[in-house]
Structure 1
Amino acid sequence: MVSVMGLSVLFGAGAGVYAGANLEEIKAYLNNDIKVKVNGQTVQLLDEQGSVVTPITYDGSTYLPARAIASALNVAVDYDAATNSVLFGEKVDGVPVNAVQTFSSAIKDPGLTKYKNKDYQEVIRDTINNGSNFSLYPKEKYQTLYLQAAALGADVQLKVEDDNGRLLKQDTITAADGLKTIEVNISGQERVVVFYKYENRQGLNGIFVPLTTSYYK
């Protein structure tokens, strides 16, 4: 891959933001001759809208758009306005999945949100169906999903797929596992779907997924 001596950040900030920022005007050149290869394969750099973006050459250095490079390398990228920082890969602090979206199927009844005497406050709990699914929306901002789940009785077969049905992770959860943490690489994913399946025996089996301790990084 082309040697990168700098990264330009294209996050669609408004003109008002630039007006008050600590910026210095320069004269640079769009360099259409630069090609980028990842693992030997040429890739086309695209912005968030899917439009082609071109490397910039300035003072002998080549600058590539941060989001396009992150996408090509399958690394999550986000922007923290509070610290004016571009974030690549995992974040330092985990973000609970229920802080990112609202779950219509979530249970908040204190009588049903406890597992081994700990109250998780908001959970996905299913003891009725033999299996079902729910969606998570990381919106391409996170590198890894740490999904916690417990089997209530019989083993639970669990898998995580992307929007195109591509398998990202598959695992089996047993009652002996307790609350098991399943790590899934979700870089570049707008949405992932969690499928689960278990043997239903008159409500004695099921799945328990705490939404407050399942998190993104």
Structure 2
Amino acid sequence: MKKKKLALILGGAVLLFGGMSLGAAASSQLQEIKAFLNGGLKVRVDGNIAQLKDANGKSVLPITYNGTTYLPVRAVADVLGVAVKYDAQANEVLLGEQLEGVPIGRENFNNTLYSKDPSHTTLNGQDYKEVLYSAPGRNINYTALTPNGKYTKLYLQFAAIDKDVEHIEIKDLDNKALLKKVEGITPESGMQTIEVDITGVKTITINIRKDKDAGYMIPLTTSYYK
């Protein structure tokens, strides 16, 4: 229910995030505007008027600009019980539960198999939103990731579709070294998480040995680097 409420608010107004420390790069994207603090607007959650407050507990007001009302995202997240965080390095506002590391989709990857089609991104009732997807009958047995030596671990999620995958080999492309081999991945085993040591590795290749009738999925959102 709280996720649905947040989606409704996001759909109705752009949210402002208070308390951010912006560097020079981010500041170059700022544009000065003339807006109005809207003290007359009330926000109700489950029928009750919510008190919007910043991280220090100080009351904050909505802002109205060009006919659109903007709500402070931290305050709205707090009243809905949704986790919120600001990633200064990426200049991103993060809402909801976060992974322990960096999703592989945040770094460069071979996008030949990239898909956001819900029929490709959903497995066993979970929608992974963005994936590398090879349909059964499609004979693409290779993809690549580029962590650029920034991480020490890869937690790769992988699922076989329709038929068994004989094995996958995860390699360091530059040093031509096998990092990990996993055998016998079946559709019945669901989504598998494979932990790989990638210290110093710049480019990772993923080679899939399978029957032509087998497909596979690699989520870009829940596979991650650490």
- How does the TM-score come out when normalised to structure 1? 0.54
Whole-Å Cα distance in 1 between the matches of residues 140 and 176 of structure 2?
Answer: 17
Look up the equivalent residue of 1:174 and give its one-letter code. T
- Quickly say closer, same or farther: Cα 1:102–1:194, change in 2 above 3 A: closer
Q: 1:206 aligns with which of 195, 206, 215?
A: 215
Partner of 2:111: 104
Partner of 1:165: 176
- Quickly say closer, same or farther: Cα 1:103–1:161, change in 2 above 3 A: closer
Q: What does the per-residue CA deviation read over 1:93-113, in whole Å, with 9 as the maximum and x for residues that have no partner? A: 310000112542211112221
8 Å contact from structure 1 (residues 131, 198) kept in 2:
no
Q: 2:124 aligns with which of 116, 119, 123?
A: 116
Partner of 2:209: 197
Partner of 1:125: 133
8 Å contact from structure 1 (residues 130, 197) kept in 2:
no
Look up the equivalent residue of 1:151 and give its one-letter code. A
CA RMSD of aligned residues (A): 2.1
Look up the equivalent residue of 1:121 and give its one-letter code. K
Deviates more, 1:187-196 or 1:169-178: 169-178
- Listed as ranges, the gaps of 5+ residues in structure 1 are 1-79, 83-91
**Are 1:150 and 2:159 matched, yes or no?**
yes
- Quickly say closer, same or farther: Cα 1:155–1:135, change in 2 above 3 A: same
Look up the equivalent residue of 1:169 and give its one-letter code. K
8 Å contact from structure 1 (residues 131, 197) kept in 2:
no
Whole-Å Cα distance in 1 between the matches of residues 207 and 223 of structure 2?
Answer: 15
- Quickly say closer, same or farther: Cα 1:102–1:183, change in 2 above 3 A: closer
Counterparts of residues 70-81 of structure 1 (less than 5 Å)? none
Look up the equivalent residue of 1:194 and give its one-letter code. I
Partner of 1:140: 149
- Listed as ranges, the gaps of 5+ residues in structure 2 are 1-86, 90-98
SS in 2 for 1:190: coil
Equivalent pairs, count: 126
Moved over 2 A (4+): 101-105, 127-131
Look up the equivalent residue of 1:95 and give its one-letter code. V
- Quickly say closer, same or farther: Cα 1:207–1:96, change in 2 above 3 A: same
Deviation at 1:190, TM superposition (A): 0.8
Deviation at 1:177, TM superposition (A): 1.6
